[in-house]
């Protein structure tokens, strides 16, 4: 699962990374920093897996006010 | 770019996420947490872009001792 700061939301970590890279003379016009969360689930059903991950995001893994979540399934699902 | 803790390297953030999810009764067997870094570069040449990103990783963005990096290019490259 990829968790990104939403468009228009301040991303201080991305600003810091972008600034540091430009100071190192890398031609970076924008940098955004998010999280990668990789989970192994017991279910092998894609619909169930997606529903579980959406509940995990709502309860723990992401802040829907400021973050957007992209769910990618792989393996046996 | 996706930055993951290398296989076999302790991932305390992933352990914490996995433990919290299990306490919330989610059937998660493993959780790993990494970083997502999205960069906009001035170049539109894929080979140049990849070479730049590899240098950025070596100089700033990742610790090759404990992290592995997966580079994905998109857009005009």
Q: How far apart are CA B62 and CA B55, in angstroms?
A: 10
The three-class DSSP label of residue B72 is coil
Across the interface, whether the CB atoms of A35 and B35 are under 8 A apart is answered yes
- What is the percentage of chain B residues whose pLDDT exceeds 70? 97
From the CB of residue A2, how many other CB atoms can be counted at a distance below 10 Å? 16
Task: Give the pLDDT band of residue B75 (cuts 50, 70, 90).
Answer: confident
Closest C-alpha to A33, from A17, A55, A54: A17
CA B50 and chain centroid, separation: 15
| Residue whose entry in the numeric block shows the structure tokens 């810091």 | A16
Residue A75: per-residue pLDDT: 77
Across the interface, whether the CB atoms of B36 and A37 are under 8 A apart is answered no
For range A47-69, the mean pLDDT: 96
Closest C-alpha to A21, from B40, B60, B48, B36: B60
Which pTM was predicted? 0.91
By C-alpha distance, the chain A residue nearest B4 is A36
Q: B64 vs chain A: nearest CA distance in angstroms?
A: 17
- Does residue A77 surpass a pLDDT of 70? no
């Amino acid at each position: 699962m990829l968790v990104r700061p939403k468009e228009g939301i301040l991303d201080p970590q991305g600003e810091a990374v972008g600034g540091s890279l430009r100071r190192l003379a890398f031609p970076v016009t924008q940098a955004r920093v998010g999280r990668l969360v990789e989970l192994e689930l017991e279910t092998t059903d894609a619909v169930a897996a997606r529903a579980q991950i959406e509940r995990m995001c709502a309860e723990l893994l992401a802040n829907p006010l400021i973050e957007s979540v992209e769910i990618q399934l792989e393996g046996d699902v």
